[in-house]
Amino acid sequence: MNYINNRLKEIKQNGYQIDLGDLINESFESYKKIALLSGLALLIVILSLLIVSVFGLSYFFDLENLSEETLKMDFSTFTPEQIALYVGGVSLLAIILTPFTAGLIKVAHDVETQDEISFSTIFDCYKADYLKDLLISSLVISLITSTITISFQLIHLDIVGSLLSYLIGFFTCLTVPLIIFGRLSAMNAIANSIMVVSKQPLIIFLAILLATIGSFIGLFAFCIGLFFTMPYLYCMYYAIYNRSVGFEK
């Protein structure tokens, strides 16, 4: 804890230097080592959640007469109970997925520090002692972003709401690694993620943008390839953390 506290204090006072090329190289090297393992895990998890989500969508939509138009969420037509259920469902999904995505970030670190990793390593965060903080942080961020999205749609400013939600997601992108590597509490991790990202927002934005584009290349491989390219985004999150906050030598 001494290292992480001292390092965050140093970043707050003096900032840090980070290079886009180094981020791309490091993230790609990590990705090459975990692509197959992480892709298989992601395929299993996402397909399982899709099956569950179909039953959840049936509450809001008539699945027999489903169209692109009906899939658009118009919260002005929702009852307060339906809005509450929607926010709760989105938050629950975030809570379920966050320990898994944390596992993808952790395994990117483990391949650099351990001789061997296994398929179960990706799910280690579900039983870690910092699980509570992962869940709290995902709940807080999800509640804020979904509330913003709904509120701005109700006043017909959908784009503003979406941009604000993406902005929150961007500035809190280091929350998970700060919890699993820095062992910070949920709220402390959120606050420090905002602080660290705000010191180098342009480079980090470009890195995440390129990683997102790279992750979606899998769509051209019959869509299934997406499951095997998506882990690259989490390798980038790890590289950003490693190059900004880092680890005690």
CA-based torsion, 170, 174, 179, 185: positive or negative: negative
Q: Tell me, yes or no, whether 127 lies in a domain.
A: yes
The pTM score is 0.88
Q: Tell me, yes or no, whether 248 lies in a domain.
A: no
Q: Tell me, yes or no, whether 175 lies in a domain.
A: yes
3-state class (DSSP) for residue 43? helix
Instruction: Enumerate residues 6+ apart whose C-beta is below 8 A from 224.
Output: 43, 218
Determine which of 65-74, 119-128, 158-167 has the lowest per-residue pLDDT on average.
65-74
Q: Which of 57, 51, 43 is nearest to 100 (CA)?
A: 43
Which pLDDT score is estimated for 78?
A: 78
CA–CA gap between residue 90 and residue 140 (Å, rounded) = 12
Domain of residue 82: give its range.
Answer: 2-12+21-59+74-243
pLDDT-based confidence at residue 2 (cuts at 50, 70, 90): confident
Higher pLDDT, 65 or 149: 149
% of the chain exceeding 90 in pLDDT: 56
- Read off the pLDDT of each residue in 116-125 and give the average, rounded to a whole number: 84
Q: Which of 39-48, 50-59, 130-139, 220-229 tops mean pLDDT?
A: 130-139
pLDDT-based confidence at residue 72 (cuts at 50, 70, 90): low
pLDDT-based confidence at residue 249 (cuts at 50, 70, 90): confident
pLDDT-based confidence at residue 43 (cuts at 50, 70, 90): confident
Q: Tell me, yes or no, whether 67 lies in a domain.
A: no
Examine the pLDDT at 176 and tell me if it is beyond 90: yes
Which pLDDT score is estimated for 163?
A: 95
Examine the pLDDT at 203 and tell me if it is beyond 50: yes
Q: Tell me, yes or no, whether 44 lies in a domain.
A: yes
Q: Tell me, yes or no, whether 82 lies in a domain.
A: yes
- Read off the pLDDT of each residue in 220-229 and give the average, rounded to a whole number: 66
Q: Tell me, yes or no, whether 117 lies in a domain.
A: yes
Q: Please give the tally of structural domains in the chain.
A: 1
Residue with tokens 């509330």: 147
Which pLDDT score is estimated for 127?
A: 92
Q: Tell me, yes or no, whether 65 lies in a domain.
A: no
Mean pLDDT, the chain, integer: 86
Instruction: Enumerate residues 6+ apart whose C-beta is below 8 A from 55.
Output: none
